[in-house]
């Protein structure tokens, strides 16, 4: 529709997740009118991420070095491992400041429809870490959805034979939420996982 370069940019932007045709056009015109220095920084940032960012050879978190900042940090507890689906989940857990152990990023979840089985995830590498490291507990923090639960179940069964402590993040009512708006599965889980307040 537009002449060459503008249309090419709209097309490329439209391929990004969550960017529809209208947003792509809006962003393209913003880029067109923005400060050239700012836009050079954006263009360079895309390039830099592709050139500099790799995955940690131990836990598969994103990293600009051979191993990530968390795996390199000697103050992190080596005995507890939190297993997550994506690097984004590492950040989400880090934001809570309530976990001082280490991570293992699976690179997704078991999803037969999308053709993702255990072999497509970093499960073999997780088993290798268990044989080398002094890990005492594995916290499975996959997403609380169908694929995440299936992955958690798969891992729990596999790890049972190794005789290691395996836990799963609690499901229940979101803090600050409203009981009457909770879906029945979440509310059911909240009942199952109820905790004693007195005695």
Q: Per CB under 8 A, does 73 bind a copy of itself?
A: no
Q: Per CB under 8 A, does 195 bind a copy of itself?
A: no
Q: Per CB under 8 A, does 63 bind a copy of itself?
A: yes
- Position of tokens 């991420």? 49
Q: Kindly tell me which residue out of 21, 52, 136, 170 binds a copy of itself, with binding defined by CB under 8 A.
A: 52
By CB under 8 A, the residues from 106 to 145 that bind a copy of itself are none
Select 48 or 164, whichever has its Cβ closest to a copy of itself: 48
Select 11 or 192, whichever has its Cβ closest to a copy of itself: 11
Q: Kindly tell me which residue out of 3, 132, 180, 184 binds a copy of itself, with binding defined by CB under 8 A.
A: 3
Q: Per CB under 8 A, does 198 bind a copy of itself?
A: no
The contacts found for 123-128 with CB under 8 angstroms, 24 or more apart, are: 123/155, 123/158, 125/60, 126/81, 126/83, 126/155, 127/158
Beta bridge partners of 62: 55
Q: Per CB under 8 A, does 2 bind a copy of itself?
A: yes
Select 88 or 165, whichever has its Cβ closest to a copy of itself: 88
Q: Per CB under 8 A, does 181 bind a copy of itself?
A: no
Q: Kindly tell me which residue out of 21, 32, 77, 79 binds a copy of itself, with binding defined by CB under 8 A.
A: 32
Can you give the binding site for a copy of itself, defined by CB under 8 A? 1-6, 8-9, 11-13, 15-19, 23, 25-32, 36, 38-50, 52-53, 62-64, 68-69, 86-88, 91, 94-95
């Amino acid at each position: 529709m537009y002449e060459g370069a503008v249309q090419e940019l709209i097309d490329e932007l439209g391929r990004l997740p969550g960017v529809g045709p209208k947003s792509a056009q809006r962003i393209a015109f913003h880029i067109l009118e923005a400060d050239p220095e700012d836009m050079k920084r954006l263009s360079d940032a895309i390039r830099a991420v592709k050139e500099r960012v790799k995955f940690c050879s131990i836990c598969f978190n994103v990293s600009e070095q051979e191993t990530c900042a968390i795996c390199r940090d000697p103050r992190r507890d080596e005995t507890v491992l939190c297993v997550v689906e994506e690097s984004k989940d590492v950040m989400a857990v880090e934001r809570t400041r309530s976990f001082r152990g280490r991570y293992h990023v699976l690179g997704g979840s078991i999803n037969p429809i999308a053709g993702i089985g255990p072999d497509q995830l970093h499960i073999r590498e997780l088993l290798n870490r268990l044989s080398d490291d002094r890990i005492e507990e594995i916290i499975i923090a996959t997403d609380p959805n169908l694929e995440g639960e299936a992955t958690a179940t798969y891992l729990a069964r596999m790890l049972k034979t190794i005789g290691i402590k395996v836990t799963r993040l609690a499901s229940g009512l979101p803090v600050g939420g409203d009981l009457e708006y909770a879906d029945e599965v979440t509310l059911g889980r909240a009942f199952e996982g109820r905790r004693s307040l007195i005695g």
